[in-house]
Structure 1
Amino acid sequence: MHNVAQPSKPDEDEFTSRVPDEEVRTALERLLADSRFRASERNRRFLRFVLEEALAGRGDRIKSYIIAVEVFGRSVDFDAETDPIVRIEATRLRAALDTYYSGPGREETIRISLPKGRYVPAFEATPADEDPAPSQFEPLKPLLALGRARSARGLRHYAVWSMAAIVLASVVFGMLFLRGFPSRSSPEPQTTIRISPTVAVTSQATESLGAQGLTQSLQLALTRIRGARIIWVPPNAPALATPSDEFGAGKTYDVASTLRIDRDTLRVVWRLSDATTGEIIQADFMDLDATGGSTIAVEDQVAQTIASRIGALMDTPPSKGKGAAGQVR
């Protein structure tokens, strides 16, 4: 392989290539049309946008702010320091590209990538006659052909050769069993959300009851985030293991919230943080009228709003209805 797309001098386009633009676009369309390319719809838009901008010679526009506004629909006052949406989605897109080209797309002759540390795309051209990786079952092919053959020397020779084929096949399968059969494509790492009880800021009985009700409503709302595993962390629970050890390779987040009643106002503060690094992904508060209406309706409204915000960050908004699509442990 040889890299054919590198950043050029500051006063030139950042994206250069000896491969014709049309071949690059053809490779992009083939990639986006392949259902085995496991990327969300907005990350497909992300990839198309940066590639078209680069091919048009506008590499200097491929910045976090432009991507956030034109691809992800953020407002003109977008600030990358407080909203990490572009960094998060770029990481997901890089992982999807790596998985595709190391698996179902390994025979592609033009490979598109998003180098770490920047959003300007690059691509590599591989020789068209590059041999694909040999199958682990390659040794069995002559044995299968041998089993179908009929020796002209009669049934005795055929039986001898068949027995030898069975013995050799048993040895090969035994070796494969010890080494492990080639696995099919691994499922995408599952997102895990750990939820702690809502904390009442003061010891008022009304706040304590409200915190308990909000905790229950939030559990239900979060389980509607498709594909997410919800972990309940009870009060005074011992410290959980490191997420990478306990939950495997999937991303793990912590959700925490507090509730306070001040005169006629009910304030709920919540935050979503990375369980591995402690980085706060998003935090916000809600003020509601605490004087009238159904307490249960208020709790459900708050919980659904929080779950929708979290689901939007993960590109998997909660499903509607009373059924729970997630898993609670």
Structure 2
Amino acid sequence: MAIFTEHSPYIGDRRDIDAEIARIFHAPQFENAPVMRGLLSFLVEKSIAGEAHRLKAYAIAVDALGRDPDFDARLNSYPRVQVGRLRKLLDEFYGENGVRAGLRFRIPKGAYVVDFEMAAADEDDDAAVPAEPAAVIADGAGRSGDNPWQIGDLGRFAAALFVAAMIALFAWQAMSGLASADAPGAETGYGAR
């Protein structure tokens, strides 16, 4: 059965994806890691369903990682840390086990959606090439890796700009004060006339 989503007309057979999940879950990196297995299953299912827009830190924390509904993703980096750990485990898995059946799961940095890459079987991990754009599960909308100006970068830039403006203002005021004090005929002393 071919997989069809709103974002991609065709990505392959669901049996291939299920077989790759089973192969990953039997690897030493995942055998004793139920949280990572559950997280990978959740991300794969949401990616296949074309629900990339739902893959936010809050949804992952509550729906995949079992956090309470009052979880605050702005204050707690747990989902980002776990997805980063999963990304590392997948890289380690493919580094040790290679690619079979031409399918590789990849979670791009700064994203939560799973990309399915087509690669030659038993080829080096570094040689895996992304599938044709139409064959990728989701369009990656909202990925911070696609935009060179990420939200955090903009915040840091704005803060640096503010600090630079304040320094310039204080320097200008200090220089203005010194210039007026050095001017001929400037009054000296407090309240001098």
Q: What TM-score bracket applies, with the shorter chain setting the length?
A: 0.5 to 0.7
Give per-residue Cα distances to partners, 1:171-191, cap 9 Å, x unaligned. Answer: xxxxxxxxxxxxxxxxxxxxx
Q: Does 1:118 align with 2:111?
A: yes
The AA in structure 1 aligned to 2:98 is R
**Alignment length, in residue pairs?**
120
Question: Among residues 102, 106, 111, which one is paired with 2:98 in the alignment?
Answer: 106
Q: Which moved more, 1:27-36 or 1:40-49?
A: 27-36
Distance 1:61 1:81, change over 3 A: same
Structure with greater contact order relative to length (CA < 8 Å, sep ≥ 6): 2
User: What is the aligned partner in structure 2 of residue 80 from structure 1?
Assistant: 73
Q: Does 1:42 align with 2:50?
A: no
Identity fraction in percent: 31
Shift of 1:107: 3.9
Q: Does 1:23 align with 2:16?
A: yes
Distance 1:72 1:16, change over 3 A: farther
The runs of at least 4 consecutive aligned structure 1 residues that moved more than 3 Å come to 36-39, 130-133
Q: Distance in 1 between matches of 2:105 and 2:54?
A: 19
Q: Distance in 2 between matches of 1:78 and 1:38?
A: 28
1:110–1:124 contact (8 Å) kept in structure 2: yes
Give per-residue Cα distances to partners, 1:115-153, cap 9 Å, x unaligned. Answer: 11110001212223x5679xxxxxxxxxxxxxxxxxxxx
Q: Distance in 1 between matches of 2:29 and 2:77?
A: 27
The AA in structure 2 aligned to 1:106 is G
Shift of 1:18: 2.7
Q: Relative to total residues, which structure has the larger helix share, 1 or 2?
A: 2
Unaligned runs of 5+ in 2: 126-193
Shift of 1:35: 2.5
Q: Distance in 2 between matches of 1:80 and 1:124?
A: 29
1:39–1:96 contact (8 Å) kept in structure 2: no
Shift of 1:57: 2.7
Secondary structure of 2:28's counterpart equals coil
User: What is the aligned partner in structure 2 of residue 217 from structure 1?
Assistant: none
Q: Report 1:89-104 matches (<5 A).
A: 89-103=82-96
Give per-residue Cα distances to partners, 1:154-184, cap 9 Å, x unaligned. Answer: xxxxxxxxxxxxxxxxxxxxxxxxxxxxxxx
Give per-residue Cα distances to partners, 1:183-209, cap 9 Å, x unaligned. Answer: xxxxxxxxxxxxxxxxxxxxxxxxxxx
1:39–1:93 contact (8 Å) kept in structure 2: no
Shift of 1:49: 0.4
Q: CA RMSD in A?
A: 2.6
Unaligned runs of 5+ in 1: 1-7, 134-329
TM-score (norm 1): 0.33
Secondary structure of 1:123's counterpart equals strand
Q: Relative to total residues, which structure has the larger strand share, 1 or 2?
A: 1
User: What is the aligned partner in structure 2 of residue 58 from structure 1?
Assistant: 51
Distance 1:77 1:39, change over 3 A: same
Distance 1:35 1:131, change over 3 A: closer
Q: Distance in 2 between matches of 1:38 and 1:50?
A: 18
Shift of 1:30: 1.5
1:68–1:74 contact (8 Å) kept in structure 2: yes
Q: Report 1:154-193 matches (<5 A).
A: none
Distance 1:16 1:43, change over 3 A: farther
Distance 1:123 1:97, change over 3 A: same
TM-score (norm 2): 0.54
1:49–1:71 contact (8 Å) kept in structure 2: yes
Shift of 1:75: 1.5
